[in-house]
Amino acid sequence: MTSTVDLSARTSELLAAVGAAPLDHDSGLAATSPITGAVLGHVPLTSDVDSVIAAAADAYRSWSLVPAPVRGGLVRELGELLREHKDALGELVSIEAGKIVSEGLGEVQEMIDICDFGVGLSRQLYGNTIATERPGHRMMEQWHPLGVVAVITAFNFPVAVWSWNTVLALVAGDTVVWKPSEKTPVTAVAVQALFEEAARRAGVSPAVAQLVVGDRAVGETLVDDSRIALVSATGSTRMGREVGPRVAARFGRALLELGGNNAAIVCPSADLDLTVRGLVFSAAGTAGQRCTSLRRVIVHESVADTLVDRLGTAYSSLPVGSPLDSSTLVGPLIDEAAHDGYVDALERARKDGGTVVAGGERVRVPGAEDGVYVQPAIVRMPAQTDVVRRETFAPILYVMTYSDLDEAIALHNDVPQGLSSSIFTTDLREAERFLSAAGSDCGIANVNIGPSGAEIGGAFGGEKETGGGRESGSDAWKSYMRRTTNTVNYSSELPLAQGVTFL
């Protein structure tokens, strides 16, 4: 196990490697590592958020006039720097967010991928030509930059979600102000340093994408400021209930990525070898701290016992420990509050008649006594009770049974959240039923793959209490732009629409 001193020293080395300034060890926001609970250093707080917003608004006026393919050149530079520093940034993600090595590197790869996507997108901000009823007229749509975009991110994906938003916003011609989670400010400092170097190489003002570090009050400032055209906020449903109405009250836009309570339906025809692998990663990966983590399994009663036995066997072999150890598959929870939620949910599940069939204990890791490690838990539930319908950000997998597919889909949809979902089946009819309008009500629906994890090519987001926002691929770029409908009269007449006559 890496010692407390080593983590702090290693963090300094990694920051230097990406060109970031050393941390102030005397004041500011204390950054800790969930691996050991060690304080990595103190990140300076942003003292004047208003000035940052003003600089972003000023930069927008010139940046919005830069041709989109030229804006893509900045994104290209960022992608190249991320490739160059992937290992260093990935390790920082592991140290500060507690992700295992491959997941830390995977998060940075996701940033690289969205940069590649953004470069191509910079030449594909297409509008439409629309048929008009009036002779001698042409009607079309154009997309224009929106303004300043505030990006508020969560600890579990401390850098990738910033990139999803910032790359699209920059290509769209917007400027960005980023408030990272107070739990993961160090990775934000590292990414900002890389971005500023990319801006220098591209000959662009770094004011087009800035960082603000602070507490809830900083986020509220971004939410309430009328100079912010779009607030993209990732976090809990509770947070979204506050952000959405406040942004709407000033007629701004909100893009919300909130809670998930993701399920997998396992059908009698499912390939159980594939199913077990898919379920275990989705439920235990990232210690259950993804918004797309698998929380519920709805399995046909004919295969339920077999599946639970196999899941239990797989869980018993999961190495829990320091995420910096290459053999570890389950790292720490982010903090003690997360552990409290884990314990409380298990207690509530037992009171509701649930039986813990695997895991459920705290794990003591040598050399990391202040780290919060738990054994991922499997709980068989007699019904979908309140605790099951509530998202707990920890590795708890509730298992329930069904007898027919309609019952399973109804159970699947009977939660407030609507982010990601999956079905495991080799029956084409079952798969297509799940993907139809009468099937999953989530923004993401998968077949023979778990709900956790997504490629950047598709739009990411969900429905209901998940917030309805869409980020990353497909046409999510439209959230960061404004649409204008243009009608051009190239005739010498002035016909009115709908046959209206006047004068």
How would you classify the pairing of strands 471-472 and 459-460? antiparallel
In this structure, the answer to whether residues 246 and 383 fall within a common structural domain is: no
- The structure tokens listed for 484 are 């204008």
Structure confidence at residue 1 as a pLDDT band (50, 70, 90): very low
- Assess whether pLDDT exceeds 70 at residue 3: no
pLDDT in tens, 136-191: 999 999 999 999 999 999 999 999 999 999 999 999 999 999 999 999 999 999 99
Mean pLDDT of 92-108: 98
Under DSSP, is residue 401 helix (H, G, I), strand (E, B) or coil? strand
Domain that holds residue 172: 53-258+467-483
CB crowding 324-349: b at 16 or more within 10 Å, else e: bbeebbbbbbbbeebbebbeebbebb
Q: Which amino acid is at 111?
A: M
Q: Is residue 494 part of a domain?
A: no
Q: Is residue 345 part of a domain?
A: yes
Q: For residue 4, what pLDDT is reported?
A: 45
Mean pLDDT of 390-418: 98
Alpha carbon distance 124, 468 (integer Å): 24
Cβ contacts of 44 within 8 Å, gap of 6 or more: 24, 27, 28, 29, 213
In this structure, the answer to whether residues 165 and 307 fall within a common structural domain is: no
In this structure, the answer to whether residues 433 and 300 fall within a common structural domain is: yes
In this structure, the answer to whether residues 129 and 168 fall within a common structural domain is: yes
Query: Which CATH number is 64's domain given?
Result: 3.40.605.10
Structure confidence at residue 27 as a pLDDT band (50, 70, 90): confident
> For the chain, what is the mean pLDDT?
96
More confident site: 27 or 240 = 240
In this structure, the answer to whether residues 268 and 210 fall within a common structural domain is: no
- Assess whether pLDDT exceeds 90 at residue 453: no
Q: Is residue 28 part of a domain?
A: no
pLDDT in tens, 329-373: 999 999 999 999 999 999 999 999 999 999 999 999 998 889 999
In this structure, the answer to whether residues 193 and 269 fall within a common structural domain is: no
Q: Which amino acid is at 437?
A: A
**Bridge partners, residue 472, by sequence:** 459
Alpha carbon distance 479, 143 (integer Å): 11
Q: Is residue 333 part of a domain?
A: yes
Alpha carbon distance 128, 29 (integer Å): 48
- Assess whether pLDDT exceeds 80 at residue 198: yes
Mean pLDDT of 209-213: 98
How many Cβ atoms sit within 10 Å of the Cβ of residue 458?
14
Q: For residue 2, what pLDDT is reported?
A: 46
- Assess whether pLDDT exceeds 70 at residue 19: yes
Q: For residue 403, what pLDDT is reported?
A: 98
How many Cβ atoms sit within 10 Å of the Cβ of residue 51?
11
Q: Is residue 491 part of a domain?
A: no
Q: For residue 190, what pLDDT is reported?
A: 98
pLDDT in tens, 464-481: 999 999 999 999 999 999
In this structure, the answer to whether residues 293 and 345 fall within a common structural domain is: yes
What proportion of the chain, given as a percentage, has pLDDT over 70?
99
In this structure, the answer to whether residues 273 and 332 fall within a common structural domain is: yes
In this structure, the answer to whether residues 303 and 432 fall within a common structural domain is: yes
In this structure, the answer to whether residues 283 and 235 fall within a common structural domain is: no
Mean pLDDT of 278-284: 98
Q: Is residue 209 part of a domain?
A: yes
Alpha carbon distance 67, 125 (integer Å): 11
Mean pLDDT of 429-438: 98
Alpha carbon distance 347, 296 (integer Å): 17
In order, the DSSP letters of 23-67 are PBSSSSEEEE-TTT--EEEEEPPPS-HHHHHHHHHHHHHHHTTS-
Cβ contacts of 398 within 8 Å, gap of 6 or more: 295, 296, 297, 349, 354, 379, 380, 381, 384, 388
Closest CA to 269 of 447, 406, 430, 425: 425
Q: Is residue 274 part of a domain?
A: yes
Query: Which CATH number is 387's domain given?
Result: 3.40.309.10
Structure confidence at residue 26 as a pLDDT band (50, 70, 90): confident
In this structure, the answer to whether residues 167 and 316 fall within a common structural domain is: no
pLDDT in tens, 55-83: 999 999 999 999 999 999 999 999 999 99
Q: Using only C-alpha atoms, what is the Rg of the chain?
A: 24
Q: For residue 114, what pLDDT is reported?
A: 98
User: CA 210 from chain center: how many Å?
Assistant: 20
Q: Is residue 499 part of a domain?
A: no
Q: What is the pTM of this model?
A: 0.96
Number of structural domains the chain divides into: 2
The answer to whether 400 touches 298, Cβ cutoff 8 Å, is yes
Cβ contacts of 494 within 8 Å, gap of 6 or more: none
Q: Which amino acid is at 66?
A: V
In this structure, the answer to whether residues 129 and 218 fall within a common structural domain is: yes
How many Cβ atoms sit within 10 Å of the Cβ of residue 16?
13
Q: Which residues are annotated as catalytic?
A: 257
